[in-house]
Amino acid sequence: MDFQLTPDQAALRDTALAFARGEMEAVALEIERTSEPLSKDWKKKLGEMGFMGINIKPEYGGLGLGALEALLVLEEFAKVHSGMAFPIFESCVGPVKAIEHLGTEALKQRILPAVCRGEHVVAIAMSEPDAGTALTDLTTRAEIKGDKIILNGLKRWSSGGGRSDGYLVYCKLSDAPGAKGIGAVYVDHNTPGMSYGQREELMGFRGVYSADIMLDNVEVPIENLVAPAGGFGSLMGAFCLERCGNATMSLGIAAAAYEEVLEYVQERKAFSKSLIDFQAVQMKIAEMAMQVEASRLLIHKAVADIGTGFPDVAGSSMAKCFANEMVRDVTGKAMQLMGGYGYSKEYKAEQRFRDAWGWGIAGGSIDIQKVNIAAALAGRRFNQRAK
């Protein structure tokens, strides 16, 4: 097994690092200050750099590279700010990949080139008030009538809700029980009958909108059907890549926290010597470095050799679960080592700590990942509804 990046992969990572750190640090500060998402102009610049279509096929305007390359870029942007990295997350590991693999050719030709140009961001609309972890309890309905699809329902916790250009809406497409009736439909922003709730006020994730989406007899063309009834398994296959993207967002936050605090403890002095000279500090620094590196290895292992395909449930859930727990611990240690400065908005430590907690909730909680892992290891699904 080769743990080294190829020269091309290393060059892509370094390009992303130079652009994110060299061109967009001020942008990240503004996102954190205002909580407004990345501007259209900046998204177009990301598109021009190729960052919005890294692992999308060339015939749709992408670079045609693999999942690993996409995650290498995502990590570098996540080190700077989650809100800044979020459009790349949505395009390279989010619902866009489900559209690319499962959508109609007409839909792909309409949506994917615009995504790659940085002109179109697609968000996912999965959860509902009574269907989050228990996703098969969805009540949003989509009825096919001739060449149209009519949607009705309420979606909750849609990241990008109200500000994205389109949504991949998970919904019931038949009366079949559980997953057998679930599929997904693409809906453009502000299609008649679509409205949005008030923006959620979150602990972190500044620059990432979250709001309810109300669907009242929303009509879209049949070509917008991404997955028919019974397509839940295929959607979850695509979602395995999103888990790895979630893990990479956690990794980027943790890696940045570690890198900043490593520099800080070598400069900051106490009792006439650098903090790094204290054994207690050395222990924490070593632990943080091990946690970050272990997370990176789990993520890269999950996507190794899948190309533009999807990882399996076990690998993606392990990567996400470990990274979600790891980032909370690493950012907490960083804030503690920096003392009052860590708790101050003068540094990014407190912002990273706030963002860190969100990724273990988004995209399937830490505990549900452990259930997924156990099911994969045992070779069977567990009935959480059994009494």
* Predicted confidence (pLDDT) per residue in 215-245, tens digit: 999 999 999 999 999 999 999 999 999 999 9
314-327 in b/e form (b: 16+ CB < 10 A) is bbbbbbbbbbbbbb
Between CA 77 and CA 79 the distance in angstroms is 5
Output the pLDDT for position 311. Answer: 95
- Comparing C-alpha atoms, which of 240, 209, 250, 312 is closest to residue 74? 250
Indicate whether this model's pTM tops 0.85.
yes
Average pLDDT per 10 consecutive residues for the chain, totaling 387 residues: 90 98 96 96 97 97 96 98 96 95 97 98 94 86 97 94 94 94 96 96 93 97 97 93 97 98 96 96 98 98 89 96 98 97 94 96 93 92 74
Output the pLDDT for position 130. Answer: 87
313 and 321 Cβ atoms separated by less than 8 Å: no
- For 14, residues 6+ apart whose C-beta sits below 8 A from its C-beta are none
Output the pLDDT for position 386. Answer: 67
Between CA 22 and CA 286 the distance in angstroms is 28
Cross-strand bridge partners of residue 124: 168
* Predicted confidence (pLDDT) per residue in 187-219, tens digit: 999 899 999 999 999 999 999 999 999 999 999
Output the pLDDT for position 314. Answer: 95
